[in-house]
Structure 1
Amino acid sequence: MTEITDKPGDAKDEDAGNVDTKTFQRLERLRELRISHRDLDDVIHRLQMDLYINEVQLRRLKKRKLLLKDEIARMESELIPDLNA
């Protein structure tokens, strides 16, 4: 009679490791996006305080900030699917 046991290196363990790695990478990417969003917010705020504002540059930064916000929301909804329910 052969005994079946789950040992390190089994396919089940490898799949779980891959899921954890992918989730970790996605969470890391989400963290980076949030930092970029916050940094852009700081830059935009400083530019708005400037008397000689480059309106085109300011508009581009705001648009980029909105795109980051959308990507953050998309990633959050993928990681936490019931968030929009």
Structure 2
Amino acid sequence: YENPIAERINGILKTEFQLSRIFKSRPEALLAVKSAVEAYNNVRPHMSCSNLTPAYAHQSTEPLMKHWKNRRKKAPSPAQ
């Protein structure tokens, strides 16, 4: 619950890129993770980036439309 964005990314990597499987060796696992992260950033479009890849959205000079809701509750203002 402390870092929902990281947990979301980890879940996507595990399910869409089959990283939750058992690997035969550490080098095989490292190669699979590198490949998955590369695809996540450069191939897979993201709804939160106007269906652009994160790499393309990061290089863009145009402002991105916000497609998500901030569910974080605001802290109450201190009594004055």
Query: TM (normalized to structure 1)?
Result: 0.30
Query: TM (normalized to structure 2)?
Result: 0.31
Between Structure 1 and Structure 2, the one with more helix by share is: 1
